[in-house]
Amino acid sequence: MNGGAEMINIAVLGYGTIGSGVVEVLNINGESIGKKAGDTINIKYVLDLKEFPGDPIMEKLVHDVNIILEDPEIKIVVEVMGGVEPAYTFVKTALLKGKSVVTSNKELVAKHGAELLKIAKERNLNFLFEASVGGGIPIIRPLNQSLTADEIMEITGILNGTTNFILSKMTDEGLDFETALKNAQDLGYAERNPSADVDGYDACRKIAILSSLAFGMQVDYEDIYTEGITKITDTDIKYAKALGAKIKLFATSVRDEKDNIHAMVAPMLIKSSHPLYSVDNVLNGIFVRGNVIGDVMFYGSGAGKLPTASAVVADVVDAAKHLGKNIWTIWSSKKLELTDINQVSHRFFVRVNGKSAELTKELMDQFGDIELVNVDGMEDETAFITGSITEQEFKDKKDSLDNLQSVIRVRF
């Protein structure tokens, strides 16, 4: 495609997995995408430090971002580089130079979303980031446009495909954590250094973005209590099965009746009555409860080259349809003070070494009414579920257990 009057020129920053996916999606569906956008969308430049010999992208490839930033023909910049810098500098400069920006970069959005939205609004541009949460699942736009009549009471998501895949493998095949992780790495679902996924940081950034949008104020991901799945064992999974439950890594944000909001990322035991129970393998699911609409579920591919690229291109179309007109997003830079997680109540599934009538009595003295969980073959430990107590109460009681094996929160 060559530059012409009926054309919207865009530039793609980063030709990695998602950047090449964006090019591919526009090549495969260019005609229908053009119809939806009202004009042909033409990739004029692709920025990357590397060379790609033999790839047709070479004729559009540039190594200097200023070529893109200084070109008045570029109306939309697509940032798919990842990381905060230099992405933040490039995106901010693009907006200041009158270009709308579309990004899939959750680190950037979680850290600077409010500021970049403000710059876009002041200049009648758009900063769109559908692909930063949930890959190909539309969730940002529904929160922003379709659910505006509702007060959002809860958002709970399985927002990380890697951890969901690992937990599914452990559940379906009885694997231990290390083996399931190795499996995920071999299939390309987990990085060589999987910390961002398995320690819960990826899900934490995503729930920070969703919470900021749902409640209209800045939720800092550093303030969100985050626990990953590295301590979940194959024994925990056996108990979950005995309870007719599954273990899922939940990223949750809840507004209570007093308008206090808390957020956390942690493994949870859930039963089949929970809407996210059947979200398995690398799929993501997001459950939203509104005070008027009730419960809404979003479900699909939360990652991967083409699903994520598809969400990026949908934002490009949205930006193309709204050139010179800002799409209203409520996310102020005013910081939302989250409730101290220690005040939040849960039931807890607990495993301790040892099994005796005496130990059971001690535990009942300690935790009050407990529900014992028995699994064949577990003769040398006691497992139980507490009543609903605050995180702080549980911490205080837990300190006196010198033989603690495992703790998982319970959502039933």
In a domain, 1, yes or no: no
Q: Which of 246, 280, 300 is where one domain is finished?
A: 300
What 3-state class would DSSP assign to 35? helix
Residue 47 sits in the same domain as residue 75: yes
Residue 166 sits in the same domain as residue 292: yes
Give the torsion sign (CA, 43, 45, 47, 52): positive
CB neighbourhood size of 99 (10 A): 24
Copy the structure tokens of residue 295. 């419960």
DSSP state for residue 326 in the 8-state scheme:
P
Mean pLDDT by 10 residues, the chain (412 residues): 67 96 95 93 97 96 98 98 96 98 97 97 97 89 81 95 96 96 91 94 96 94 97 96 97 94 98 96 94 91 85 96 92 94 97 93 93 91 96 93 93 95
What 3-state class would DSSP assign to 264? strand
CATH number of the structural domain spanning residue 369: 3.30.70.1140
Q: Look up 231 and say whether it is catalytic.
A: no
Residue 69 sits in the same domain as residue 95: yes
pLDDT of residue 142: 87
In a domain, 2, yes or no: no
Residue 168 sits in the same domain as residue 313: no
Cα 103 to Cα 123: distance, rounded to the nearest angstrom: 18
Residue 387 sits in the same domain as residue 368: yes
Copy the structure tokens of residue 20. 């090449």
Residue count (the chain): 412
Q: Using alpha carbons, select from 224, 281, 225 the residue that is nearest to residue 248.
A: 281
CATH number of the structural domain spanning residue 40: 3.40.50.720
- Give Rg (Cα) of the chain: 24
pLDDT of residue 6: 72
What 3-state class would DSSP assign to 299? strand
Q: Using alpha carbons, select from 338, 329, 337 the residue that is nearest to residue 114.
A: 329
CATH number of the structural domain spanning residue 293: 3.30.360.10
Residue with the two structure tokens 């530039």: 11
For residue range 183-229, list pLDDT tens digits in order: 999 988 888 899 999 999 999 999 999 999 999 999 999 999 999 99
pLDDT of residue 364: 94
Residue 291 sits in the same domain as residue 361: no
Question: Which listed residue (169, 206, 246, 248) is catalytic?
Answer: 206
Give the torsion sign (CA, 386, 391, 394, 395): positive
Give the residue numbers spanning the domain of 347: 342-410
pLDDT of residue 209: 96
In a domain, 212, yes or no: yes
In Å, what is the CA distance from 323 to each residue of 22, 25, 90, 161?
20, 21, 20, 34
In a domain, 388, yes or no: yes
**pTM (2 d.p.):** 0.93
What 3-state class would DSSP assign to 330? coil
Residue 148 sits in the same domain as residue 292: yes
In a domain, 311, yes or no: yes
Residue 237 sits in the same domain as residue 294: yes
Residue 159 sits in the same domain as residue 268: yes
DSSP state for residue 354 in the 8-state scheme:
-
Beta strands in 34-138 (DSSP E): 40-47, 61-62, 74-79, 100-103, 127-128
Residue 258 sits in the same domain as residue 311: no
In a domain, 198, yes or no: yes
Q: How many domains does the chain have?
A: 3
Element (H, E) at 234: helix 234-242
Residue 285 sits in the same domain as residue 316: no
Query: CA dihedral in degrees (177, 180, 186, 189; nearest 10)?
Result: -90
Q: Using alpha carbons, select from 174, 195, 191 the residue that is nearest to residue 182.
A: 191
Residue 21 sits in the same domain as residue 67: yes
